[in-house]
């Protein structure tokens, strides 16, 4: 049809542009035909100029591998890694999930399963978990469910002095796990209970709030930290921008590695700086303000009801009578202290979260912010489980 001639020309031009484009490929992701593969030879004493016999792709003979099954490419290697005949991958994976949930792995040196690492503390348990991973068809959610619903994980974490002395790291699993969460989890949990956490997935890294210490970057203000706005401000810690030369301060304080080297097992320290972060860092102050608004708007009529709701949000349980009384007492004392200081009350309730709802009492919101700040700093809030 003559009327479609311009469209046909445009289509032809676009097709030619597409044909002219050279495909962008990463050679490491492409399998070459055997005839095109390079010849690889043994280098005597590591000298690339002193070559010996030709070698072929394969698995070291020390590992279990049926003789009839040759590994000649990456797909074959991947299949071998997860095959039932190779228990090593499943053992490492089972140990890491155990470490995440119980604080210390069955093999404490989760980054080293070789001769320089620690032997398994419960070798039969590790072997069984490895076979369960294979039986579950590598379903990690099913593995986590198996671990968290086990009698071992669901025990009380209370420990006597005698137990702590005899088994400080709970290697015998005589009690439930109790250890501080990771840096990212602490921040994410504070945002989650306050209702601020963004559950958006994927995308570029973001810059959450951090303390303003009045310093400029050494190479100009162009690389200074500019706090993200909108939903990005509250994205999970996984998406936080990370610079090795200038790591995110609050996470570094809670032992997040600087990423200069690969760190498979994090250490856990206990320092006064950590309490100063959760009390004063703008992320946690903002979370306390949002938690206060939830307690006021959703928690009921009386102060005791609001305090109980806040504790349920943070700890997943109702407060004991003495705990409810102390939280109510804290609220009343905060109201008494803030009533003569309305400007300070407004600042405490709104900076950095933003303006209060119309008609709100700043003293009430500031007082519940104080309570929320305490709840976010409870030992039980920062620990697993």
Section 296-323 average pLDDT: 93
Q: 15: Cβ–Cβ under 8 A, 6 or more apart, which residues?
A: none
Q: Is 187 helix (H, G, I), strand (E, B) or coil?
A: helix
Overall residue count recorded for the chain in this entry: 385
Q: For residues 10 and 3, what is the distance between their CA atoms, to the nearest angstrom? A: 13
Q: For residues 93 and 226, what is the distance between their CA atoms, to the nearest angstrom? A: 38
Residue 233: the pLDDT is 94
pLDDT tens, residue by residue, 110-169: 988 888 889 999 999 999 999 999 999 999 999 999 999 999 999 998 888 888 899 988
More confident residue, 65 or 125: 125
Residue 79: the pLDDT is 83
pLDDT tens, residue by residue, 268-283: 899 999 999 999 999 9
Q: 291: Cβ–Cβ under 8 A, 6 or more apart, which residues?
A: 193, 194, 195, 310, 313, 314, 369, 372, 375, 376
Q: Is 366 helix (H, G, I), strand (E, B) or coil?
A: helix
Contact 138, 82 (CB under 8 A): yes
More confident residue, 290 or 18: 290
Asked if residue 352 has a cis previous peptide bond (ω within 30° of 0), the answer is: yes
Contact 175, 163 (CB under 8 A): yes
Contact 314, 193 (CB under 8 A): yes
More confident residue, 44 or 85: 44
Q: What are the Cα distances from residue 24, in Å, to 17, 27, 61, 151? A: 15, 10, 37, 53
Percent of the chain past pLDDT 90, that is, above it, reads 62
Q: Is 383 helix (H, G, I), strand (E, B) or coil?
A: strand
More confident residue, 224 or 177: 177
Residue 28: the pLDDT is 60
pLDDT band at 245 (very low <50, low <70, confident <90, very high): confident
Q: For residues 44 and 285, what is the distance between their CA atoms, to the nearest angstrom? A: 62
Contact 184, 257 (CB under 8 A): no
Residue 62: the pLDDT is 75
pLDDT tens, residue by residue, 353-376: 999 999 899 999 999 999 999 999
Q: Please count the other Cβ atoms lying within 10 Å of the Cβ belonging to residue 349.
A: 27
């Amino acid at each position: 049809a003559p009327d479609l001639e311009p469209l046909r020309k445009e289509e032809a031009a676009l097709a030619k542009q597409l044909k002219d484009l050279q495909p962008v490929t990463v050679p490491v992701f492409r399998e070459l035909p055997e005839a095109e593969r390079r010849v690889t030879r043994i280098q005597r004493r590591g000298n690339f100029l002193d070559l010996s016999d030709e070698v072929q792709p394969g698995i070291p003979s020390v590992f279990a591998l049926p003789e009839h099954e040759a590994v000649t490419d990456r797909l074959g290697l991947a299949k071998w890694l997860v095959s039932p005949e190779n228990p090593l991958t499943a053992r490492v994976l089972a140990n890491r999930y155990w470490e995440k949930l119980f604080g210390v792995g069955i093999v404490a040196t989760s980054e080293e399963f070789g001769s320089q690492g620690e032997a398994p503390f419960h070798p039969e348990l590790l072997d069984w978990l490895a076979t369960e991973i294979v039986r579950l068809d590598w379903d990690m959610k099913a593995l986590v469910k198996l671990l968290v619903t086990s009698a071992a994980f669901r025990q009380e974490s209370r420990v006597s002095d005698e137990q702590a002395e005899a088994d400080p790291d709970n290697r015998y699993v005589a009690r439930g796990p109790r250890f501080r969460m990771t840096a990212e989890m602490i921040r994410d949990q504070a945002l989650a209970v306050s209702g601020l956490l963004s559950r958006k997935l994927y995308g570029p890294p973001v810059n959450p709030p951090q303390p303003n210490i009045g310093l400029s970057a050494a190479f100009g203000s162009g690389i200074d930290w500019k706090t993200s706005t909108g939903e990005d401000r509250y994205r999970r810690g996984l998406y936080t921008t990370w610079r090795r030369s200038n790591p995110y301060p609050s996470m570094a304080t809670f032992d997040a590695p600087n990423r200069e080297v690969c760190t498979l097992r994090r250490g856990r320290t206990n320092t006064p700086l950590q309490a100063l972060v959760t009390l004063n860092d703008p992320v946690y102050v903002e979370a306390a303000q949002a938690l206060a608004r939830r307690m006021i708007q959703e928690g009921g009529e009386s102060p005791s009801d609001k305090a109980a709701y806040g504790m349920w949000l943070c700890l997943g349980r109702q407060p004991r009578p003495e705990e409810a009384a102390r939280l109510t007492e804290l609220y009343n004392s905060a109201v008494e202290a803030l009533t003569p200081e309305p400007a300070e009350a407004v600042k405490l309730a709104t900076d950095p979260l933003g303006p209060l709802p119309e008609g709100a009492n700043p003293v009430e919101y500031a007082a519940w912010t104080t309570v929320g700040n305490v709840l976010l700093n409870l030992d039980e809030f920062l620990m697993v489980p």
